[in-house]
Amino acid sequence: MLSKVEIIKNKLITDIKRGVFRVGEKITSRNKLCRKHNYSRTTIDRAIRELTAVGYLGSRQGSSTYVISDKPIDKPRHLFVVSNLTSTNTDVAVRELFFPEIDFNIPMSGLPEQEIATNLNRLCQPGSVVIWITPSLESIHLIDYLAKAEIPQILINRKYDNYDYVATDAKSSIKEGLLWLMIEAGRDIAFVSYKAATDKPYLHERIISFYESCVELGAHLTPDAIFSRKFIDIPSEIAEIGRSLFVERKPPKGIFVMHQDLVLPLVTVAQTYGFRPGRDYKLLTFDYVNGLENYTGIGMLKQQTKQLYHEAAEWLLKKTAQQQQPFRKEIKTELVLH
């Protein structure tokens, strides 16, 4: 819930944006704001003080307050890193986890994504900057709210609306990996993947990229070789898929597994039927899977996490320099072969 100070600030910013108060004009007096909103003079004074600090308002001739700009100061004063991975909000812990090789000359805090709604007052302070690491769809309304408050934000590995982002280049990555798989195993490909869903928003782009790459490269993908499911019970469903792939039909020479959670179970099931990667089939998966290093015939599309974070740091440096151009970067995965 927003504090009274934030409510007053948002109301004044909206009036400035809509031209109710133009640059150079005097805003409503503090006393009138108190009476209109039934808030204390302390609340009104703090709201005006914070809007003055961020560059919207200024004082002339004693107590009169004027609009001096319809845009806030854009110099970062505090960086918030939002992620489901952050369990602590200490500056040192966040730096070591996400930006170990980069020296930011501003305070930094980590916030778990599930706690953002209760920390909006902190994030809406003048000079705040937010880096979202793989934010969920449920956070879009919070991202929108911060955008309306003119808080600079960048999303890592998510592309929502027109926000700044740095993300994995799904199309180029999948096309490169699929080309390797087809050279090694031929044009007939089997496909195993979660269904695209709101809890896995990244899958929409990756699945579309896979099908587009299949068409562009001339892969043969028949309906009975496509296994797209919710995977409520991975062991039993992978066992069923394994029977279909390795017992009930001619075994495929090439398999593309879209999600890393499904790879080891599928390789294990294949082994129970006497099929080993490298010898009997080739396999490609999106992202790097620990535990596959000892197998041959496997390709993994390893995301460049450090480079993603580095690009986010470059974005922050540009914000520090008050550059306003949209920031959209895509980083191709590394094709790791075993």
Residues 181-187, mean pLDDT to the nearest whole number:
97
Q: What is the pTM of this model?
A: 0.79
Weakest mean pLDDT among 59-63, 291-295, 299-303? 59-63
What is the overall mean pLDDT for the chain? 89
Q: At what angle do helices 234-246 and 263-272 cross, to 10 degrees?
A: 50
Q: At what angle do helices 170-185 and 202-217 cross, to 10 degrees?
A: 50
Q: What is the pLDDT of residue 68?
A: 82
Residue 60 has pLDDT above 90, yes or no: no
**Whose CA is closest to 65, among 36, 31, 37?**
31
Tokens of residue 276, six digits: 């080993």
Which secondary-structure segment (H or E) carries 159? none
Q: Which domains does the chain have, with CATH numbers?
A: 4-67 (1.10.10.10), 78-167+307-331 (3.40.50.2300), 170-302 (3.40.50.2300)
**Whose CA is closest to 224, among 197, 254, 245?**
245
Please state, in angstroms and as integers, the Cα–Cα distance from residue 253 to each residue in 162, 224, 283, 290, following that order: 41, 15, 8, 23
Task: Summarize pLDDT for 147-159 with one digit per residue, the tens.
Answer: 887 788 999 999 9
Q: What is the pLDDT of residue 3?
A: 86
